[in-house]
Structure 1
Amino acid sequence: MAVFTPVSLQDLTPWISSFSLGSVKDIKGISSGIENSNFFVTTEKGEYVLTLFEKLTFDELPFYLNLMQHLARKGIKVPAPIPDKTGNILHSLCGKPACLVTKLEGDWQPQPEPVHCAEVGDMMAKMHLAGKDYPFEQPNLRGIEWWKQTVPLVLAYLPVEASLMLQNEMRFQEEFAATRLYWKLFRGPIHADLFRNNVMFTGNRLSGFFDFYFAGCDTWLFDVAVALNDWCVDLESGELDQIRVRAFLDAYHAVRPFTLDECAAWNAILRGAALRFWISRLYDYYLPRDAEMLIPHDPGHFERILRLRIAQPAPELFL
């Protein structure tokens, strides 16, 4: 992620001594993203990823780190937090909360094909089922309550038409969130940010999901919608690629079948997933934080996607 807090070898060397990883050989900042400071760290024992958390607090972080540990122990391909010599997985470095996790093999897939979408759908369903018995609760911190707080901050930057669409969609989503149907949907821990650049592949085989620091308890269907709006779209137009859509949804459904309630809620949830990222990109674009390496994403991309999801019927969850 963007480097907000620099870390030098001199900073890292005494800190790493609390782990059984040998001495540090190299540290390199990771430039993509907008939330945390991330680094590749090489020690005598191997390669790892170091994260310094810029927004999340010591009180909030156990939910995320323990979730990753829980999923890893159940065979889900995620980075596993590295405990220090006393067994702790949450630490402090340069005045910020910090953790060290295993580094996944491979690379992300910028131009996914149906085979990649099927791999992601399959693993997402397995992840949802594996998280059913996760004992900790934390709401999705970028859920509808955050939308309500953030929309007033960005409205003044928008032209009239976009401002009206944003306000109208917020009303639609607030009304939907108050329905009985919404509260009947299956829920549990979700990734909530499973874009292409948060999944690693070696060839066509998925090697892991990472960056769980937007995770929270929400509807499983919202997780599906977030992923579909990235993995299965044409990036220029925002249009859904129906072949990739079917590969993703069919692979998920084969592991964890969708319900009739989820089918009824699907259009609203798909719109909500587009709205969530339009709002966050507007916020990051117009109200940015300083960072050593930070390129905000174009908010127009998810404005286009939301317009399409409002105008067009949602794809069938299962055939």
Structure 2
Amino acid sequence: MAVFTAVTDTQLAHWLRHYDLGEAVDFRGIQSGIENSNFFLTTTRGDYVLTIFEKLTAGQLPFYLDLMRHLAAHKVPVPDPMPRDDGALFGLLHGKPAAIVTRLEGAPELAPREEHCVEVGQMLARMHLAGRDFPNHQPNLRSLNWWRETVPEVLPFLTGPQRELLSTELAHQQAFFASDDYAALPEGPCHCDLFRDNVLFAHAAPESGHDVRLGGFFDFYFAGCDKWLFDVAVTVNDWCADLTTGALDMPRVEAMLRAYQTVRPFTAQENRHWGDMLRAGAYRFWVSRLYDFYMPRAAEMLKPHDPGHFERILRERLSGVALPGIHTPCN
């Protein structure tokens, strides 16, 4: 993520005294994202990621770290938080919560093919099912309540058609969230930000017979308890969309949804509201990118994303997107 908080070699050495991870060999900032300060850390014991949380509080952080530990214990490939000498999964660095997690193998695939979508779809469903017995609960902090608070702040910066779209879609989503069908949608811990740059792929072993191998999911710091369908919609909106037009590439959509539903079939309500949830996923990121674009924070390495991308996606989804003939309702 963008580096908001710098860490010197001396500060790092002092911080590592709280861990049984050996001595630092290499340490450098990660130059992407806009929420936390992340650093690649290599020690004499292995490869890790150090994160300083710029907005999350010490009270919120246990949900994310405990969720990653839970998923890792259930064989879902995610970063595993490293305990400190006192057993805690985080401490304070520069007065801000900070943690060290294992570094996953592989690199992002920014031009995904159908086979990548299959791997992501299957693992996303496995992650959802693995989270069913996770005992902690925290809502998705970038859901409807946050939209209601944030939309009035960004409206003054927009054109008339943009203001109209932002307001009318908020009204639509409020009605959807208040419906009985929405209440019936299955839910649990969700990643809520599973874009293609938050998934790693590693080289597959020649004897495996597969072209790709999933390295894992990371960056769980937008995770929250939400409808599983929302998590799928957010993922499809990124992995299966044309980055220029926002239009869905239906072969990739079908590959991902088929793979997901081999593990967890959609319910009747999920089938019925697929289009509404694609719109919700697009809306969430349009609002957040508008906020980050028009109200930026100072940082050493900060690259706000283009909010127009998710405006285009939302307008595309308003035309209506049906499931591609693969729904298998289980109730």
TM-score when normalising by structure 2: 0.95
Number of the residue aligned with 1:289: 297
In the TM superposition, what are the counterparts of 1:189-200 in structure 2 within 5 Å? 189-200=189-200
Number of the residue aligned with 2:206: none
After superposition, the C-alpha distances for 1:273-310 in whole angstroms (9 at most, x for unaligned) are 00000000000000000000001000000000000000
Instruction: Work out the CA distance in 2 between the residues paired with 1:202 and 1:170.
Output: 39
Identity across matched positions, percent: 56
Residues 1:259 and 2:267 aligned together: yes
Number of the residue aligned with 2:88: 88
Number of the residue aligned with 1:213: 221
Q: Secondary structure at the match of 1:132?
A: helix
Instruction: Work out the CA distance in 1 between the residues paired with 2:324 and 2:144.
Output: 25
Instruction: Work out the CA distance in 2 between the residues paired with 1:22 and 1:176.
Output: 51
Number of the residue aligned with 2:73: 73
Structure 1 runs not aligned, ≥5 long: none
Structure 1 stretches of 4+ with a deviation exceeding 4 A read none
Number of the residue aligned with 1:306: 314
Number of the residue aligned with 1:24: 24
1:317 Cα offset (Å): 6.9
Letter in 1 for 2:42: T
Structure 2 runs not aligned, ≥5 long: 204-211
User: For the Cα contact (< 8 Å) 1:263–1:317, is it kept in 2?
Assistant: no
In the TM superposition, what are the counterparts of 1:125-274 in structure 2 within 5 Å? 125-203=125-203, 204-274=212-282
1:313 Cα offset (Å): 2.6
User: For the Cα contact (< 8 Å) 1:80–1:101, is it kept in 2?
Assistant: yes
RMSD: 0.9
Number of the residue aligned with 2:105: 105
Q: Secondary structure at the match of 2:318?
A: helix
User: For the Cα contact (< 8 Å) 2:21–2:44, is it kept in 1?
Assistant: yes
TM-score when normalising by structure 1: 0.99
After superposition, the C-alpha distances for 1:198-242 in whole angstroms (9 at most, x for unaligned) are 000013111100000000000000000000000001101111011
Instruction: Work out the CA distance in 1 between the residues paired with 2:218 and 2:21.
Output: 22
Letter in 2 for 1:157: F
User: For the Cα contact (< 8 Å) 1:117–1:247, is it kept in 2?
Assistant: yes
Instruction: Work out the CA distance in 1 between the residues paired with 2:118 and 2:8.
Output: 40
Instruction: Work out the CA distance in 2 between the residues paired with 1:316 and 1:116.
Output: 18
Instruction: Work out the CA distance in 2 between the residues paired with 1:250 and 1:257.
Output: 9
Q: Secondary structure at the match of 2:288?
A: helix
Residue-pair matches, total: 319
